[in-house]
Chain A
Amino acid sequence: MGLSSVALPKVVSALETKPRLPVIWLHGLECTCCSESFIRSSHPIAQDIVLNMISLDYDDTLQAAAGEQVEEIRKKVMKDYKGQYLLAVEGNAPTKAGGAYCTINGQSFLSILQETAADAKAIIAWGSCASHGCVQNAKPNPTGAEPVKKLITGKPIINVPGCPPIADVMTGVLAYILTFDQLPELDRAGRPKMFYGQRIHDKCYRRPFFDAGQFVEEWDDEGAKKGWCLYKMGCKGPTTYNSCSTVKWNNGTSFPIQSGHPCIGCSEENFWDNGPFYERLSNIPVPGIDSTPDKIGELLTIGTGIGVAGHMAWQLAQRKPNPARQPAEKHDE
């Protein structure tokens, strides 16, 4: 995060003392892999996030209440924390069949998303579903599934793609927002630069093998056993922006390439339709200077203005008076 020595106590203090940010976490067309990834976070652990950092007021995967009780909660948070709550979206919304491909309590998910977004302070689009559309948006997209950015306008949206995103990336984005009271810097695609600024290939520990022209050619050849580059097996690391090769997965245990499987590019737009996964990228010179992916990189860094605009929107929302703290829940002692 590029912290100065002055900022460090601020981090500690922010995480320990602020009233917790209300979060409404909606689930649309999805598989819940983002929620599962989220609870795999190792630093901070899920317990600390849910008990000490945010107030996860609505999340149908984890919450105790059900049915009307949870719809009451959603409406209460929208009213009591108007303009102050964070909307986290997992999955996306079907636009065909009048929204009947995803309903909650008889209401279309599309309308729930729109009404909940209206008074949100900002929106986090968790995973490739909410960010780009993901698997249900792949051809022929039978439900007309569309990501958040296609359905919601006028709100800062942070895209945290990946199928799922890395746990510590998810909690890292949240902790940044809570600590600095601002949205992270975003790239043209609305992704936090701190986690999606470079291609997996740029930081891959197998990159020296790519540069040396040493490639896995068969799944069980000597190159596979020696951990050579997986480019010829279809690796999409050269065109995929994510933190897999630095943060790695599950507390740094491994990542797809380290475990011998090519990157399938799950954090990139339309990755399902850009396969087959096991066909090599055809437009990268091998070996040598990878000029083509660099051009892609240039395109992606154009227009950081969107990121700046999102940052400002958060600050403007900040100037509104804070609502009274939520009264204590009634319960029978």
Chain B
Amino acid sequence: MATRVVVDPITRIEGHLRVEAMLDDRNRIQDAMSSGTMWRGIEVILQGRDPRDAWAFCERICGVCTTVHALASVRCVENSLGITVPKNADIIRNIMFLTQMVQDHVVHFYHLHALDWVDVVSALKADPVATAALAAKVSPTWGLASEGYFRDVAVTLKKFVDSGQLGIFQNAYWGHPAYKLPPEANLMAVAHYLEALKWQKELVKIHTVFGGKNPHPNYLVGGIAAAISMQGDNAINMERLNLISGLIDQAADVVENMYVPDLLAIASFYPEWTTCGGGLGNYMVYGDLPQNGIGDVSKFRFPRGVILNKNLNEVLPLDLTDSEQVQEEISHSWYKYPEGKTSLHPWDGVTEANYTGPDLPYKQLDETKAYSWLKAPRWKGNAVEVGPLARMLVGYASGKP
């Protein structure tokens, strides 16, 4: 008989997520549902507000991907009012967007996702000399790779584990055979977990220069608030630009010489994971990084388009203004649309909460009914995946990787 496995909370993500997986008698997943278990109603709160303020409300949708919802919001308001922002504002917004993207990829890998592949406790058995040799092989161009460096990390880790208080690392699956890395690779990954933790707070200073703070830097309808004055000492000047330039160089070093080599090295121990999953095979991307204003989609560095059925030979054109193309679907979400509709274009969007799930506390949800606070994206009626994988694939298929 089928069994149901519930994981709630899913940890190491932003927000509240629950997954229920249905297994067959050989413990293989036959069906699964993911449920967003939180709703705040920011769409409802925004109604009637000054549109100049909207970015700040939208930005608070997520503090991990801080900045992107604010950017989308100011663009919406500018689009509604027919505002074209100055070239410098587009450049600064692109730099802020990329800062977030790079920081988030590295943090997601080391601090969130890696603990599913890296056995922190196994690292205690590593030989620092062998770890240094491994690190030199994985990335000969990354500076922090001496025997002494890894010995220091091992001592820090041993002291922590010996304290008996494992904190965020307690009650996990350490020692489980599904962890495939040798102790030296685990020690190297733990060292880089700590290295990336130190580094991520540096890169975001780019947001602080342009937006005054991070998380949640300030945006402005019509441009960017930070004034630029090459002859002044109280605005963006050469000193500020040098700070940013140095941080970008540092980020390139981290990504090229630590993050990507680690990713490839760790992935090489888990080849079987590339053969399962795969999702829907439909991908939708709005595109970004305008080089000639947000109105000129042909000059986006991240192109716009749709891929259906994993067909990388064809990128379908996407028209955001066509009410029959992009829609938000609610047939499995706890919302109500007017006139019994289940799918609406965002311009016609309605957010009326309508909880019809089980009384609390509950043990399981019903996948045949509404089960989530998340709406689901559709393109011409097709369920589509959006996000970083979609962005990469549409870029690849468009010849702009």
Q: How far is the CA of A19 from the CA of B126 in the complex (A)?
A: 27
A14 to B38, CA, bound (A): 39
Tell me if A278 and B50 are in contact (CB < 8 A).
yes
> Is A257 a contact partner of B160 (Cβ separation < 8 A)?
no
Q: Mark B325-358, 1 if CB is under 8 A from A, else 0.
A: 0000000001000000000000000000101011
| Given the contacts A106-B363, A145-B40, A277 and B56 also touching, CB distance less than 8 Å | yes
- Residue contact B45 to A220, C-beta cutoff 8 Å: no
With beta carbons under 8 angstroms apart, the residue of A64, A140, A145 that contacts B115 is A64
Q: Which of under 10, 10 to 19, 20 to 34, or 35 or more describes the interface residues of A? A: 35 or more
Minimum CB–CB distance for B11 against chain A, Å: 4
Q: A100-B355, A225-B235 are in contact. Are A250 and B64 (CB under 8 A)?
A: no
Q: Give the CA-CA distance A143 to B44 in the complex, in Å.
A: 10
**A37 beta carbon closer than 8 Å to chain B:** yes
B11 contacts A66, C-beta separation under 8 Å:
yes
Flag whether A331 is at the interface (Cβ < 8 A).
yes
Residues of A within 8 A of B226 (CB): 259-261
Is A159 in the interface zone, CB < 8 Å from B? no
Instruction: Tell which of B11, B45, B125, B174 touches A135, judged by Cβ atoms closer than 8 Å.
Output: B45
B61 to chain A, nearest CB (A): 6
Q: Mark interface residues in A96-127 (1 if CB within 8 Å of B CB, else 0).
A: 01111111111110010000000000000000
A237 CA / B370 CA spacing, docked (Å)? 45
Of the listed stretches B136-144, B217-225, B266-274, B375-383, name the one at the interface; the rest are far from the partner chain.
B217-225
Segment at the interface with B among A3-11, A47-55, A177-185: A47-55
Tell me whether A327 is interfacial, beta carbon within 8 Å. yes
Most A CB contacts (10 A, CB to CB) among B16, B194, B207 go to B16
**Are B213 and A256 in contact, CB atoms less than 8 angstroms apart?**
yes
Say yes or no for A281: interface residue by CB 8 A criterion: no
A40–B225 CB distance below 8 A: no
Interface pair B222/A219, CB less than 8 Å apart: yes
Q: Is the CB of A225 within 8 A of B229?
A: yes
Report chain B residues within 8 Å CB of A194: none
- Residue A31 at the chain B interface, CB threshold 8 Å: yes
Q: Is the CB of A63 within 8 A of B227?
A: no
> Roughly how many angstroms separate A266 CA and B355 CA in the complex, as a whole number?
31
Which of B66, B124, B194, B212: most chain A CB closer than 10 A? B212
- CB pair A102–B37 under 8 Å, yes or no, is yes
Closest to A54 in B: B167
B 1-40 to A, binary, CB cutoff 8 A, 1 in contact else 0:
0000011111111111010000000000000000001111
Q: Is A270's CB within 8 Å of the partner chain B?
A: no
Cα A278 to Cα B215 in complex, Å, equals 21
Known: A36-B64, A39-B197, A55-B165. A104 touches B37 (CB 8 A): yes
Q: Tell me, in angstroms, the Cα distance from A47 to B361 when the chains sit together.
A: 36
A257 with B212: CB separation less than 8 A: yes
Across the interface, do A142 and B45 meet the contact criterion of CB distance under 8 Å?
Answer: yes
A57's partner among B12, B45, B167, B358 (CB-CB below 8 A) is: B167
Task: Tell me if A163 counts as interface (CB < 8 A to partner B).
Answer: yes
Q: Is the CB of A42 within 8 A of B201?
A: yes
Q: Say which residue of B164, B175, B208, B353 sits within 8 Å of A253 (CB atoms).
A: B208
Interface positions, chain A 10-34, Cβ under 8 Å from B, are: 19-20, 22, 27, 29-34
Does B12 contact A63, Cβ atoms closer than 8 Å? yes
Residues on the A chain within 8 Å of B222, using CB: 219
B207 proximity list for chain A (CB < 8 A): 250
The stretch of A68-76, A288-296, A302-310 in contact with B is A68-76
A-B contact count (CB 8 A): 314
Interface residues on B, range: 35 or more
Does any Cβ of A come within 8 Å of B395's Cβ?
A: no
Cross-chain contact B60 with A134 (CB below 8 angstroms): yes
Q: Report the minimum CB–CB distance from B127 to chain A (whole Å).
A: 15
Any B CB within 8 A of the CB of A204 = no
In the complex, A164 has a CB within 8 A of chain B: yes
A39–B200 contact, CB under 8 A?
yes
* Contact yes or no, B172 A65, CB < 8 A: yes
Q: Is the CB of B362 within 8 A of A59?
A: no
A133-148 Cβ-contact flags toward B at 8 Å (1 or 0): 0111011111101000
Do A333 and B125 touch (CB < 8 A)? yes
Which residues of chain B are within 8 angstroms of A52 by Cβ–Cβ distance? 160
When distances are taken between beta carbons in the complex, the residues of chain A under 8 Å from B125 are: 333
Are A101's CB and B353's CB within 8 A?
Answer: yes
Residue of A nearest to B174 (CB): A331
Beyond A37-B215, A140-B45, A143-B39, whether A63 also contacts B156 by CB under 8 A is: no
A residues near B50, Cβ cutoff 8 Å = 275-278
B225 engages A272 (CB within 8 Å): no
Identify the interface centre among A33, A107, A227, A275: most chain B CB within 10 Å of its CB. Answer: A33
Q: Which of B40, B57, B172, B194 contacts A101 (CB 8 A)?
A: B40
Chain B min CB distance to A149 (Å): 19
Asked whether any CB of chain B lies closer than 8 Å to the CB of A2, the reply is no
Residues of B within 8 A of A66 (CB): 7, 9-12
Q: Does B305 contact A (CB under 8 A)?
A: no
Return the CB mask of A147-184 against B: 1 if under 8 Å, else 0: 00000000000000001101100000000000000000
The answer on a CB contact under 8 Å between B14 and A32 is yes
In whole Å, how far is A141's beta carbon from the nearest beta carbon of chain B? 8
Given that A34-B63, A51-B156, A98-B359 are contacting pairs, would A65 and B42 also be in contact in the complex, using a CB cutoff of 8 Å? no
A35 CB contacts on chain B under 8 angstroms: 63
Cβ-defined partner of A67 (8 Å) among B8, B39, B355, B360: B8
27 contacts between A and B (CB under 8 A): A31-B64, A33-B66, A35-B63, A52-B160, A57-B170, A62-B12, A64-B120, A66-B11, A69-B171, A70-B11, A98-B360, A101-B38, A101-B40, A102-B16, A106-B358, A107-B361, A142-B45, A219-B222, A260-B225, A261-B220, A261-B226, A275-B49, A276-B53, A277-B56, A325-B165, A332-B175, A333-B175
Residues of A near any B CB (own CB < 8 A): 19-20, 22, 27, 29-37, 39-42, 45-47, 50-52, 54-57, 59-67, 69-70, 72-73, 97-108, 111, 134-136, 138-143, 145, 163-164, 166-167, 219-220, 224-227, 244, 249-251, 253-262, 264, 266, 272, 275-278, 325-329, 331-333
Q: Which 5 pairs between the two chains have the least Cβ-Cβ distance?
A: A33-B63, A227-B234, A332-B175, A256-B212, A142-B41
